[in-house]
Each structure stands twice: as structure tokens, then as C-alpha cells.
Amino acid sequence: MKSLKAIAIFYQKLIIPTLLSSIIINLFGTLLFGVFSFKFIGISYVLLGLLFQFFIYEIGYPEEYYFYFNLGLNKYVLWFSNLLISLLIGIIISYL
């Protein structure tokens, strides 16, 4: 249970910038190509989730990994959990 709370705290910094960026990218695609697609938002959400984790946690705040390591979560578990959560949310968005 403690690990799930830690993963939720970890993902909290990623969900809003990833979702907003996915929507903005899709709106630019709509302006350029005239096609709005939730499927494209879902695909870009998965890819941008991993990209934002790299920028936020690897470059911006690498010392925060110590907090999660003390809770028993290493970097690979956090990357994998981000991938799974992003895939789940991306699939949900794609089928709206």
C-alpha cells in the first residue's frame, strides 16, 4: 500500500503537463490537417509521459529518486509504473 501511494505521488507531477501537451499537440494537428482524434491524444499521452518523466525527474530533480528509493522503489520500477499508467490512460483516452 505504501508503494502505491509513492507511485501516486510520483505520477502526480507528470499527469497534468502530459495531458495538456497531448491536447495542445492534437489541436495543432487539427489546425494543420483538419482531423481531431482522441486516438492521437492517447498515443501522444503515452509517449509524452515518458518524455516528461525524463525531463522532470532525470534532468530537473534527480535527487527526488532518493525519496522513492527510501520507500523501496528504484528508478526502474518508477519508469515501468509510468509506462503502465500512461498506457492505461492512453488506452482509455483513445476509446472515448
Domain extent, residue 89, equals 2-94
pLDDT band at 34 (very low <50, low <70, confident <90, very high): confident
Does the predicted TM-score (pTM) go above 0.85? yes
27 closest CA partner among 13, 15, 44, 9? 44
Domain count, the chain: 1
- Check pLDDT > 90 for residue 96: no
The HSE-up count of residue 8 (CA atoms within 13 Å, CB side) is 5
User: How much is the pLDDT for 1?
Assistant: 83
State the pLDDT at residue 50. Answer: 95
